[in-house]
Amino acid sequence: MSDFIQGKQLARLFFEEIVQPILNKYFPSLSYAAGLLGAGSEVLDFDSPRSTDHDWGPRLMIFLQEKDIQLAEVISTLLSRELPITFKGYSTHFSSGDPNGVQVLQKAEEGSPLNHRVALLTIKSFFQDYLGINMVKKPSLIDWLCFSEHKLKTIAEGAVFYDQIGLESVQQRFSYYPDDIWLFMMASEWKKIGEEEAFLGRAGEVGDELGSRIIASRLIHSIMRLCFLMERIYVPYSKWFGTAFSKLSPASVLIPVFHKVLSANSWQEREQGMTEAYEYLAFRHNKLMITKPIPAKVSAFHDRPFLVIQGADFADALKKEIKDKFISNINLIGSVNQLTHTVDLLENNDLLEKMNLLYK
């Protein structure tokens, strides 16, 4: 454990100490960029020694200009001969990949060609393959609703070690959602809360504590998503959802409340915890000053004895702030990431492109 180096730092050192000197020696006039973006827990700094069992190791990406991409094979072959067989205690040789494309570190013999993972590509090809977007044109607002949010996060939080060709400026374009999409997504999440907040108590009232607990967990998920939105930070996929949330500023207040809610033995106790969470979330909303102040205290759900924050009021107020008329007229169904957690959709660019139809 003490010897473990997180993958993004390992990649930076691998580039600076090994790969860059080789490129400087053999291609001194080459303009390129280097970094680590896209897939991999290490891109988000969430890797641990457990991560080393697959698709992890000394690896990075070299971005060439379109006019130089024909050099990719030559450079790759050169690196397979010139790279050391280990770096910082890790092999630089990877398996060829199982049927699912998963690669693992393998021991290499001195002098044998390495199956390294220094990927050579262009900015255009990376964004086309990873995000399914043609960099020649600007993404539409609907495109933003259909991007995989986890992929956006691994672009925005990826590392650029060296840049002579404008990679960082392209990365910056995807730093966060456009304002109208941001408002639309917040409004949609508040609408979800408004639709279910009274059901926690209603299910409990008829003795369905399991149902009440499930509804509470769904409401907590929406509250957590809103915290990400309020801080303008992309949400990762489920494996890292709680880990990433713990790094947000509201986490120190809300995590103890969430534990109390989820361990509650009665709906009344559960509702009490949710009240704390709702009121804190409403306070955070008002602090943004993007709508007129909205009451940050729970109240009864119509004439029923269930305490709610009136999520629909927040949704309506946010929707009024959306400037783009087309986006403001879309039903508050949220982005594709707010609609589903299905990996086979969110990792499939062709299917995501078809999701555009939902918003037209």
Partners of residue 299 on adjacent β-strands: 308
pLDDT in tens, 214-273: 999 999 999 999 999 999 999 999 999 999 999 999 999 999 999 999 999 999 999 999
Any residues with CB less than 8 A from the CB of 176 and at least 6 apart, and which? Answer: 156, 182, 232, 233, 234
Lowest mean pLDDT among 60-64, 101-105, 187-191: 101-105
Q: Which DSSP symbol is given to 140? A: P
Cα separation, 159 vs 168, whole angstroms: 9
pLDDT score for 86: 93
Q: Which DSSP symbol is given to 19? A: I
253-262 own/partner pairs: CB under 8 Å, 24+ apart: 253/280, 254/223, 254/224, 254/227, 254/280, 258/220, 261/216, 261/220, 262/213, 262/216, 262/217, 262/220
Q: Per the structure block, which two tokens stand in for 205?
A: 């009232």
Q: Are 155 and 129 in contact (CB under 8 A)?
A: no
pLDDT score for 257: 97
Cα separation, 339 vs 198, whole angstroms: 21
Question: Residue 303's pLDDT band (boundaries 50, 70, 90)?
Answer: confident
Q: Are 27 and 76 in contact (CB under 8 A)?
A: no
Provide mean pLDDT across the span 5-14: 95
Give the number of other CB atoms < 10 A from CB of residue 306: 19
pLDDT score for 213: 96
pLDDT in tens, 139-184: 999 999 999 999 999 999 999 999 999 999 999 999 999 999 999 9
The angle at the Cα of 247, spanning 245 to 251, to the nearest 5 degrees, equals 65
pLDDT score for 250: 97
- Percent of the chain having pLDDT more than 70? 99
pLDDT score for 55: 86
State the greatest distance between any 2 C-alpha atoms of the chain, in Å, as a whole number. 79
Q: Tokens 């080393």 sit at which residue?
A: 52
Partners of residue 36 on adjacent β-strands: 159
User: Is the pLDDT assigned to residue 2 strictly greater than 70?
Assistant: no
Q: How far is CA 336 from CA 106, 153, 189, 190, 340, in A?
A: 38, 15, 12, 16, 6
User: Is the pLDDT assigned to residue 102 strictly greater than 80?
Assistant: yes
Domain ranges of the chain: 7-173, 179-329
pLDDT score for 137: 80
Cα separation, 230 vs 189, whole angstroms: 11
User: Is the pLDDT assigned to residue 1 strictly greater than 90?
Assistant: no
Cα separation, 120 vs 276, whole angstroms: 51
Cα separation, 205 vs 301, whole angstroms: 14
pLDDT score for 96: 87
Q: Are 317 and 291 in contact (CB under 8 A)?
A: yes
| Average pLDDT of the chain, as a whole number | 94
